[in-house]
Amino acid sequence: MEHASIAAFARFNLQLLSLGAPAQLVEACNRALIDETAHTRLCFALASQYAGMPLGPSKLELGDCFEDMSLGCFMKLVLREGCLGETIAALEALESAEIATDPIVEQVLRRIARDEQRHAELAYRFLAWGLAQSSDDARLEIAREAEQRLAELERDALNQAQRVAAREVVGPLLGELFAQHLAQGKVAARPLH
């Protein structure tokens, strides 16, 4: 997953540039790309150590990653991969660090948790920027997408970290973000939960 995140942030960087996003978002994305590269190295080093043989990445398929270049498509993608995915990754890494028995694994997981939290924050900042650029209809569409994704996450949660992410972190953060941006237009805001 960390290896795939390198490609995800490289794609996100290009998407930000194609949208004329603020430099602060592009710079934060570049830092996240460096973080994910470090995470990949750390995870493969641990896996190699435990396996007793060198392990490394395989080829990534990138076929359809640039099909729809619209802001709305990017916001939906960032909602899934950033707001939900990175938040869950941070909480799962922290939860795993709490039960890790190997101090090196614990240290790696705590670093990953801290970095993934920053990546989630970047996703929320991008979403706020994107909502500010969007029409009322587009904002409402993204709010509906968020509501659907949260409901799916709660329904299909594989562990406690995912449930906590949906109910206690992502839901309230997105609720506040959409309330602020939907209220700016003519669309009435409603809570996500």
Per the domain annotation, does 64 fall within a domain?
A: no
* Lowest-pLDDT range of 39-43, 66-70, 89-93: 66-70
- What is the pTM (predicted TM-score) of this model? 0.89
Secondary structure (3-state) at 163:
helix
Q: What pLDDT is attached to residue 94?
A: 95
Q: Who wins on pLDDT, 103 or 69?
A: 103
Is residue 11 situated within a structural domain?
Answer: yes
> Domain of 33: which CATH number?
1.20.1260
Instruction: Print the domain residue range for 115.
Output: 2-56+70-184
More confident residue, 190 or 182: 182
Whether residue 190 is contained in a domain is answered as no
65 within a domain of the structure (yes/no):
no
* Cα–Cα distance for residue pair 130/126, rounded to 1 Å: 6
Mean pLDDT of 3-20: 92
Q: How many domains are there within the chain?
A: 1
Q: Which pLDDT value is given to residue 191?
A: 45
Contact (CB, 8 A) for 143 and 182: yes
Query: Is 9 contained in some domain?
Result: yes
Tokens of 29: 């994305």
Whole-number percent of the chain with pLDDT over 90: 75
Question: Buried b vs exposed e over 150-168: b needs ≥16 C-beta within 10 Å?
Answer: beebbeebeeebbebbbee
In a domain, 142, yes or no: yes
On average, the pLDDT of the chain sits at 90
Within-domain flag for 63 = no
Give residue 184's pLDDT. Answer: 63
Tens-place pLDDT, residues 84-140: 999 999 999 999 999 999 999 999 999 999 999 999 999 999 999 999 999 999 999
pLDDT > 70: percent of the chain: 93
In a domain, 62, yes or no: no
Cα separation of 180 and 177, whole Å? 5
Instruction: Band the pLDDT of 189: cuts 50, 70, 90.
Output: very low
